[in-house]
Structure 1
Amino acid sequence: MTEITPRIPPLPRAEWTDDAREVFAYWGEPNAWEEGSKTNILMTMGNHPDLGKVYNIWGKHLLMSNTLSTRHLEILILRVAWLVKSAYEWHNHVGYGLNAGLTLEEIGAIRDFPAGDDWNEQDEAVLRSVDELKNDGVISDATWAILGQYFDMRQKMDLVFSIGHYVMTSWAISSFGVGIEGGADQIGFDLRTASGKIPGKTYKPGEVEDWTDTRGY
């Protein structure tokens, strides 16, 4: 758990245009239009509003309107975060995963796959899809056939694009030098927090009225 020096710093306030503010405020965070977002990646994406605005639309579909169950989406994202060593995505999605019904033991098993938990065939196919796409650039015929037993066409399309999106996002976060937000009780890959507390649930934008209060920053 180390400090990160940004390669692309948050957009300075003197350069906040209305287009940049659209990037900051897109997710409905209170006062983000006036004060900027407390979420570091949004303040970084404000440097390139044309990209940031379409990125937000794309990302919102995959995070909030995905045809996959929230549980399977979080399994997928956490596996991506571990494979590409994205401390930022791991920290955020541990809380989302807990809210989706995953246990800390299951999250540890996502990290340790194929060792660890005794996954059912459906969950294992999701995990294997992440590994195969990341390592081989394609989901194998065998894994695709198993996916077809449990997921319809749209779900399989969302699954593939979700894996790609979170790999891409993790690469961007790492390459831009986006650090975990100040005040957050960082959750490491060992599932221990900086404070020693047990990680808890966090909520996605708009999921509950006080969703921002669970983030700790």
Structure 2
Amino acid sequence: MSDIKPRILPLPRAEWTDDAREVFAFWGEPNAWEEGSKTNVMMVMGNHPNLGKAYNVWGKHLLMSNTLPVRFLELIILRVAWRVKSAYEWHNHVGYGLNAGLTLEDIAAIRDYPEGGAWSKQDAIVLHAVDELIDSGTLSDATWETLTTFFDKRQMMDLVFSIGHYVMTSWVLSAMGVEIEGGADPIGFDLKTASGKTPGKTYKPGEAEDWVDTRGY
């Protein structure tokens, strides 16, 4: 479902150091210290452990400790993934979005925004903020003021940083050629999987006992 060409490969086992293993094992994936992570981005980040460890701490806040309600975070990430055409982020966050209460119809409408979708004013301004920040590099006074009727100061900070972080992450994945994991059933922008199965919920690290199994790889 992608013609991406890997440019930085997962760190070869012969080069695994304890620092690299810290990157692999950060998210609590079983046996990752000993066997490496099954997540491609972690294995690629092992090439630069200091960067990988900093990235993990930063990314964990935005993914797991974000002050935004998770539904709005997934609106942001999925819209970013579509706007910058990140097949990797789209594939992973369709399942997270479903777990956050979005439907496949909602996710299609995130992709097609502003067409379709029975969005509330709060939903719509979040999606608009993603587009405005990507397109203009800032938020207008009107957009900021509308957002602040729904979100407090910390949430506003997390909102802007979340948009920027997932744009950056998507650029990194695309530029370095990080592929969707082998064994995964890739979910395309058309919301169809390679196998033809309907996409289902997936869980973030530690969110459920079987969070690793739900990924399908």
CA distance in 2, matches of 1:14, 1:116: 51
State the secondary structure of the residue aligned to 2:148. helix
Query: Over aligned residues, Cα RMSD in angstroms?
Result: 0.6
Deviation per residue, 1:144-197 (Å, 9 max, x gap): 111111100000000000000000000000000000001111000000000011
CA distance in 1, matches of 2:98, 2:112: 17
State the secondary structure of the residue aligned to 1:211. coil
| Aligned residue identity for 2:135 | N
- State the match for 1:123 in structure 2: 123
List gaps (5 residues or longer) in structure 2.
none
CA distance in 2, matches of 1:79, 1:13: 36
- Return the offset for 1:141: 1.2
- Give the fraction of aligned pairs with identical amino acids, expressed as a percent: 76
Does residue 1:7 correspond to 2:20, yes or no? no
| Aligned residue identity for 1:109 | A
- State the match for 2:206 in structure 1: 206
Contact 1:3-1:179 within 8 A present in 2 as well: no
Contact 2:4-2:174 within 8 A present in 1 as well: no
Deviation per residue, 1:50-105 (Å, 9 max, x gap): 00000000000000000000000000000000000000000000000000000000
Alignment of 1:94-109 (within 5 A): 94-109=94-109
Does residue 1:177 correspond to 2:172, yes or no? no
CA distance in 2, matches of 1:181, 1:106: 25
TM-score by length of 2: 0.99
State the secondary structure of the residue aligned to 2:193. coil
Deviation per residue, 1:91-149 (Å, 9 max, x gap): 00000000000000000000000001021110111101100110000111111111111
State the secondary structure of the residue aligned to 1:111. helix
CA distance in 1, matches of 2:108, 2:129: 18
State the secondary structure of the residue aligned to 1:193. coil
- State the match for 1:58 in structure 2: 58
Deviation per residue, 1:25-48 (Å, 9 max, x gap): 000000000000000000000000
TM-score by length of 1: 0.99
